[in-house]
Every structure is written in structure tokens, then in C-alpha cells.
Amino acid sequence: MKIGIIGTGWVGASVAISVLHDGTARELLLHDARGAVAEGEAMDLRHGAAFYPTAEVRAVALEEMNDCDAVVIAAGRGGGPGQSRLELLRDNAAVARDLGAKLARARGIVVVVTNPVDVMTQLVVEASGLPPARVLGTGTMLDTARLRQVLGRELQLEPRSIHGQVLGEHGDSEVVVWSGVEIGGQRLRARADWTRDREVALGTEVRPTTRSGWSPPRSCAGCCVASGACSRCRGCRTARGSRASTAWRCPCPRWWARTVRPR
């Protein structure tokens, strides 16, 4: 597959290394408004070629992205302390519209990561004119992954054995559907050791929020980064989770025909 990544900041660079390690990409194209950054990332990834399946990695002009099987949009500004994802709309909407227009001839799918991701996805659809089925947002995939990890830790179980969903718009308004969480076919709420109080406590770890006067729990990665609580590794925590969910979004011939991937 030929995969393109637009934006080589924390998230874009993390997605790049993830798709290389997965063997998803045979050709990986990188683009950034800061051309030297994209060139540097491409060079760095090429130097690690002995540790992942063979792939050609290079920095390219934006126009070349139209020939990719999948294009990941990770360009735009990240959030600051106390700032909601919707407040990023003013700056990132212009980026989404511009990139969407330039991807109007894209032959593959487009995966949007830039926040606020649900709004950005719609803007890319409108600007590109591509069918909505070919422009996907990562949505609440990362939040759902956090839910499974948190429950796995709490119940001492493998996260992949836990099935549940976080629904809605990625951000402050999303909802954990506790009534639908299952473990081995059994409803979580049917467990004798489960209480609604635990849902309230764990929900704060899963749902990012920017409510004023609220201090994020240490394990809420998105809030920790945005609030500056993790100044030592600012920006890296959500990038690692985002890379996994984004790489999983990219169609892979080994899995695509038989894997159900929520929109």
C-alpha cells in the first residue's frame, strides 16, 4: 500500500512509525508545511529500515498525496491549557478546507485526525467533494480504546476481551455507553462486584474535558497534555494512542475483508 501523512508533528510522526512497524505501508509519503521537518522525519525513518518491513519513505509535495491508497491528515494546531477541541475550530478549519480542496482527486481514502476531528472531517468532505464514505475521522476510537484499557486495569483483564463503546463527538460531549459494555458475553453491570459509583470515577479517566475549575486525573492522557500537567512529555501521550487507532483505520489487505471497523 501507498500511505501518505500530512503533518509530521507528534501525531503524524507517531502514525508514520506505527504503519511501518505494522507492515501496512510499502511506500510512505510525508508532507508538512515545514518542508525541512518532513525531510528530517523521512530520513530518520529510513535509517530505521532494518527494524521494520521494507518500505520506501520520502517527503513529497502535497499533490503527490492524491495517488495514495490512504492519506492521513494530522496537520493543524494542538490544544492549549483549558482549551476545548471546538475552540481549535477557528485555526484548524482553514487548514482542513485548504487540504480538502487539494485532495479532491484523491483515489483512496482520507483519514482525519486533526481536532476537532468530527468537524474537520465534515469540512474535508465538503471541500474535497469526495464521497463521505471515503473520508473517515478517528472519532471516538481512541476514547473507546482508553475505556477498554481502564476497565482492563480495574478488573485485571486483557483489554481486548472487553467490548464497549464511547459514542458521540470526540471531546467534551462524548458519552460512555456503560449499559452496552460486555466481558465474555456478560454485561458489565451484571457483575456482582460492579457499582454505578465506579462508572462515575472511571468515566473521568476516559472522557476528556476542559471544564473550568476541574483538575484532570493523572491517567486522562488528553487532559494531562492539554492542561500542561505533563510538561515533561507535553504532546507525546495522546500521540502514541492516536497513532495506534489511526494506523488501524488505514485499510490493510491482511485484515480489511473480514474486520468490522466502527465509523
The torsion defined by the Cα of 32, 236, 212 and 149, in degrees rounded to 10, comes to 120
- Nearest residue to 168 (alpha-carbon basis) of 200, 139, 196: 139
CA distances from 147 to 111, 182, 224 (A): 22, 12, 16
Question: In this structure, are residues 81 and 228 in contact, taking their beta carbons and an 8 Å threshold?
Answer: yes
C-alpha cell at 42: 523521512
CA distances from 62 to 11, 16, 35, 180, 251 (A): 18, 16, 11, 42, 21
Residue 136, classified by CB atoms within 10 Å of its CB into exposed (0-12), middle (13-18) or buried (19+), is buried
Residues in the chain, total: 263
CA distance 244 to 248: 6
Cβ neighbors of 1 (< 8 A, separation 6 or more) are 24, 25, 26, 27, 69, 70, 250, 251, 252, 253
Q: Which of these is catalytic: 21, 31, 47, 170?
A: 170
Catalytic-residue membership of 170: yes
Catalytic residues: 170
